[in-house]
Amino acid sequence: MWAMLGVVAIEDLRRAIQQLGEREGMTAARLEDSPLYDLMANIPPGWSPADRAAALGRLIIELVNGISSINLRSAARVALNLQESGSTGRSARIRWSAFANSEGANERTARNWWYEAALTLSRIIPERIHEVNAAGDWPKYRVHGVSGQARESLPPYRFARIDSCFWFEGRVGSRSVTNRRVVALEDGVDRILAVGRYYADPRPGTAQIVPQMNCELGKIREGRGMTAVELRLPEPLGRGQETFISYEIQYHSDQDCEPVVNHEVTAASVGLYVVRVQFDPDQIPESVWFFSARTDVEALLEPAAAEVDRLVNVSQLGYVDHRFHDCEYGVSYGLAWAWPQARPDSVPDRVKAGLNGGRE
């Protein structure tokens, strides 16, 4: 079998598989650059590189889901940023922290599970590719209309519209409210994933998600400054059906907010995302800009002179908003800003009072 595939060392494949789990996880671009992609043969005529990458991704997901060890299977899902993991997001560091916390393990142990899972996959993926090559079975792995991750790694729903509103007291985030129009892409959709983060405060529980309309809490996972929850719908949706939900995120921290609010697309897509921010009128940023980015650095970099059209106006009362259309999976959309150089001397008394009353 190895003679037919070409001699690729197990250790090289293990490293290549682990690279698929870096940063935002397994994407079409990473798959196309992987030596696993070069092992594919007997590809039907007319397939694009994206078609091949999506098929390879689907095969990998199939094998990940077949790993017998729960710890190794879960770690692989987290690393590759598969929706089933419950610990999704473009930051591998945040995913690992949330996963380790949910499993009651330290992060090093969780990453060791991923190492062992990648070693297992480095043996079984080439074997399966050889079988599919020989049988000419790649068409059954083809995923139509997906240019990023393989279809199975995306949730079975999209959002027609998301409206998010954020409020500040001083430079401290106090709460946000998010409204979503959920559209099912297949029968049986009965829950969605919601994630709340307060980047400036790594303590678990700083972002508390509270259902407001037409949903209830399901499984909850907490990590460093982050909470991921399943929001259960009142009844399963059929393919093409849609419904409305609303939830609030309460931020329990006295730390200045990192200068960014955003939505990272973890659904198949978002038709329209509207972000609104009400800053404290006594603490209005010097400048605010919108971004669509795959990394934190891209989001936080203030626009250059040639990108002044990315700057947005803030009202005298501290209100600002922006709209994003046709948002893609794996991309983060939002607003970032630069605070004035002079900082407030202390946390506002009303924030301290809220913290003292709201935390044990």
Per-residue pLDDT for 3 more than 70? Answer: no
Q: What is the pLDDT of residue 150?
A: 41
Where is pLDDT greater, at 17 or 143?
Answer: 17
Q: Give me the mean pLDDT over the 7-30 stretch.
A: 81
The answer, yes or no, to whether residue 143 has pLDDT greater than 60, is no
Check: CB of residue 162 under 8 Å from CB of residue 197. no
Q: Retrieve residue 163's tokens.
A: 């409206």
pLDDT at 154 over 90: no
Per DSSP, helices labelled H in 39-178 are 49-65, 70-80, 92-103, 107-135
Element (H, E) at 13: helix 10-19
pLDDT tens for 182-195 read 999 889 999 999 98
pLDDT per position as a tens digit, 54-77: 889 889 988 998 999 999 999 999
The residue extents of the domains of the chain are 2-153, 157-358
CB-count burial class (<10 Å; 0-12, 13-18, 19+) for 352: middle
How do residues 311-358 score in pLDDT, each as one tens digit?
A: 999 999 999 999 999 998 778 899 999 998 765 554 444 444 444 333
Examine the pLDDT at 294 and tell me if it is beyond 60.
Answer: yes
Work out the widest C-alpha separation in the chain, in whole angstroms.
71
Structure-token pair, residue 91? 């930051």
Residue bearing tokens 């005298």: 316
Architecture of domain 157-358: Sandwich (2.60)
pLDDT for 280 equals: 97
pLDDT of 110 > 60? The answer is yes
- Looking at residue 153, its pLDDT comes to 54
Taking the CB of residue 187, how many other CB atoms lie within 10 A of it? 12
